[in-house]
Amino acid sequence: MNTPQADLEPWQWPEEHWRKLVNRVRAGRKLRPDEWPGAARCAVALSFDSDHETSELRDGGKSIGRMAWGQYGARVGVPRILSLLAKHGVKASFYVPAVTALLHPDEQRRVIAEGHEVGIHGWIHELNSILPREAERDLMRRSADTLEQIRLPGCARLVCALRRGTSAGTR
């Protein structure tokens, strides 16, 4: 099969091709310590994607139903999550597209004021895997600037990392 991989559907790829793709993102060394602090049996990290309307906006903003799903997340979902986290004294990370932060700035301020992290989740929930490197970098910087302007001065740090694994450090 000498057909270029781009011309094939994923189910037509030879094993060598899909293994190459998977191996690009294989995890490195094991991070599990020999012993957890305080004799804990495990560690848990909670993170939430507060995409709200941006999943539909990214796709053109034509579906009223999908826009309503995003409204539910902002009006009901995140407040319930924050209440549950507060009840149990647990901190979490919320990954937020910049457009979501612009649409719901008070939500981001509440998340930060309650001691949680806010991390970059793109500009408008774009598909980073198909963006040119420079466009991805530009959108990440714009997103970081937007989230910095919205957060409360002196509050918790802003995590500047894309969800797909690229990292620009912490601001």
For the chain, the structural domain boundaries read 46-170
Q: Given this model, what pLDDT does residue 158 score?
A: 54
Q: Is the pLDDT of residue 154 over 70?
A: no
How many CB atoms within 10 Å of residue 148? 12
Range picked from 54-58, 83-87, 106-110, 146-150 for highest mean pLDDT: 83-87
Write down the pLDDT at residue 152.
53
pLDDT tens column, 11-28 = 999 999 999 988 888 877
- Rounded to an integer, the average pLDDT of 118-138 is 92
Residue 170, SS3 per DSSP: strand
Do 61 and 67 touch, CB atoms closer than 8 A? yes
- Looking at the structure, give the CATH architecture of the domain made up of residues 46-170: Alpha-Beta Barrel (3.20)
Q: Measuring CA to CA, which residue among 165, 54, 46 is closest to residue 111?
A: 46
Average pLDDT in the 138-158 region? 77
State the pTM of this model: 0.73
- Mean pLDDT confidence for 140-153: 84
C-alpha span between 126 and 51 (Å, rounded): 11
Indicate the average pLDDT of the chain: 84
